[in-house]
Chains A and B, each alone.
Chain A
Amino acid sequence: MIYLLCLVLFSIGLYCILVKRNLIKIIIGLVIMEYAVNLAFILFGYRLGGRAPILAQDQTIKNMVDPLPQALVLTAIVIGLATTALIVAIAVRIYDRYKTFDITKIRRLKG
């Protein structure tokens, strides 16, 4: 069920990128997609009622979540931050040049 919600979130992001005309909204769509993937990755390592996998001296851990996806998602978030920062910087520069965020008006290239 909750995986389905991840998929919905992913699709919302993709829809946003494909349909929206504003540069900032496209960037937000990209970020939403990124969150959906990160959330899915965390969920793959989650166990119902699991606890953090920290081994203290006088404790025995029976039911813990998988720590590896958490470490990986942390890395993925940092990478996502770098991409987002760069893309926002480019969007600001585009606004300086074209004086608009509307992609239908930013059309020098034929693609």
Chain B
Amino acid sequence: MNIIPLFVVIPLGSAFLISLLGKRIKGLPDSLANLGTLLMAGLSIYSIFLIKEVGVQVYKVGGWTPPIGISMVLDGLSSFMLVTVNLTAFLITLFSISYMKKYTAKWKFYTLFMLMLGGMNGVIITGDMFNLFVFLEIAAIASYALVAFGIEHEELEASFKYMVMGGVASLFILLGIALLYSLTSTLNMADMGRVLTAQGPSKLVLFVSVLFLVGFGLKAAIMPFHAWLPDAHPSAPAPISAMLSGLLIKVLGIYALMRIFFNVLGAQPAILDILLVLGTISMVAGALLAIGQEDIKRMLAYSSISQIGYIVLAMGIWTPLAILGALFHLFNHAIFKSLLFLNSGAIEYSTGTRDLREMGGLNARMPLTGTTSLIGSMSISGIPPLSGFWSKLIIIFAAIQSGHFVLALIAILVSVITLAYYLKLQRYAFFGNLQDKWKHILEVPFTMKLSMVILALICIMAGALLLPGVREIFLKPAQDALYAGKDYAATVFESIR
């Protein structure tokens, strides 16, 4: 029994069942979505050990051998991303059980949610260029609909903006894929890498790289392409904000960039320099824009841009240590940004507002939300020994090691700014005196608490992933798979045989 196709089949199948039966059978959407995500989280953790034992796995769709047939590839990087996505997605569905009660059509929410998850898992697991585009569009279309889920003025406007930007991004990606196909006459990623190596460097590859940079950069909201994110992410319901900010921009943007730029096209110096510059710009500008925000979710959204900047910067440095830092920061950011968005959802659930100026002293009534939010905030600003500290430390070390002293300094400064605006968030929302109108609010229901506590625990413990012995299981295979660069092709073809 091969587990690889299950990562796409389970979410798509449950989306189908929920849309078919969810309206009639009460409780089915909740239970099916939670069971599905739990099962996938388990399977993805199992896949880590599977890879450790038997190496890279390739699944031939329909029994056709690659490069002619479509393939799905499970290597270190894929299984790392699968764990990140499915673990977080499970905790988010756990949160949505109670949170989504205030919306009328819960089954529609879960259908779109599972569709988006299926698309994301597909992007991660596929070994075929065109399939990557198809899965990317599935995830993107589901996310457009989810941003507009509340159908109020702001949601519709944000969704329209997001959709136009996302549509343009997809077309750039499709054009890039078309040009690559005309150059290599193949769509299999591994085969494409092999043909490109045989052909040697060409101007067209550089042009395609730029197209991909624009396309995936728009999806990842790197700085010049970021305009849609601060509108779209806060407009969605809180679990979806967590999903979009924590996972979607990373899978559709960062993961696809990593896979295509490093494993298929090969790391080109010009592109690495561009990544360095873009990463630094989005790191600084995202942080500066976040300070002034009064809406808690908008602040978190700008903070996402800033943290994505760290990851892109580390990708641009391109040393083994930097890649380790980028991947670890990606994992950490998925965890603590989901946690913070769920916290903001919990505040909205209890008080009904997102405006920081109206809050104050919520710690007295919602101690658990306050504590987990404090852990998340401190973790994202890099306070030791929480997880964010270690990943930022690795990125800064890597920058110093490769001679980028200025960038290392900027990264430290941005970390200080991050601390500043998260302290502002804590100060306005949770500390200080409780306002009279919040005297009678209640702490959130049990499942919401549970998911927040688990995420906060992961935040505290994640530093342990760097310990020797543990690192070899989770982070090292992903780092090796990415840093192998164009050897990806050889690895895949070896495991087909």
Contacts and interface: CB of A to CB of B under 8 A. Distances in A.
Interface string A26-61: 100010011001001100110000000000000000
A75 to B, nearest CB: 6
Given A93-B151, A111-B161, A33 B156 contact: no
Contacts, number: 94
Contacts of B144: 83, 86-87, 90
A87 B167 contact: yes
A78 to B, nearest CB: 10
Interface residues of A, number: 35
Nearest to B140: A83
Given A17-B164, A30-B167, A30-B168, A37 B153 contact: no
A65 interface: no
A44 B168 contact: no
Contact of B158 (A40, A44, A68, A109): A109
A50 to B, nearest CB: 15
B171 A34 contact: yes
Nearest to A76: B174
Interface in A7-31: 10, 14, 17, 23, 26, 30
A7 B159 CA distance: 28
Interface in B122-157: 130, 133-134, 137, 141, 144-145, 148, 151-154, 156-157
A44 B174 CA distance: 13
Nearest to B295: A110
B171 A41 contact: no
Contact of B163 (A86, A107, A108): A86
B178 A90 contact: no
Contacts of A83: 137, 141, 144, 163, 167, 170
Given A44-B178, A76-B174, A111-B230, A87 B157 contact: no
B182 A93 contact: no
A94 B159 CA distance: 10
Secondary structure call for the B interface: helix
A109 B161 CA distance: 10
B493 interface: no
Contact of A37 (B164, B174, B181): B174
Contacts of B148: 90, 93
Contacts of B231: 109-111
Contacts of B181: 41, 44, 68-69
B434 interface: no
B134 A93 contact: no
Contact of A30 (B153, B159, B164, B227): B164
A5 interface: no
Contacts of A106: 157
B175 interface: yes
Contact of A40 (B137, B145, B159, B178): B178
Interface string A95-111: 00110000000111111
A108 B154 contact: yes
A91 interface: yes
A1 interface: no
B431 interface: no
A94 B235 CA distance: 15
B225 interface: no
B153 A98 contact: yes
A23 B171 CA distance: 19
Nearest to B147: A90
A82 interface: yes
A23 B160 contact: yes
A44 B167 contact: no
A79 B141 CA distance: 9
A90 B163 contact: yes
B73 to A, nearest CB: 20
Given A40-B175, A68-B181, 7 more contacts: A72-B187, A82-B141, A83-B170, A90-B144, A93-B148, A108-B154, A111-B230
Interface of B: 130, 133-134, 137, 141, 144-145, 148, 151-154, 156-161, 163-164, 167-168, 170-171, 174-175, 178-179, 181-182, 187, 227-228, 230-231, 235
| 7 residue pairs, one from A and one from B, having the closest CB atoms | A44-B182, A41-B178, A109-B231, A79-B137, A94-B156, A37-B175, A30-B167
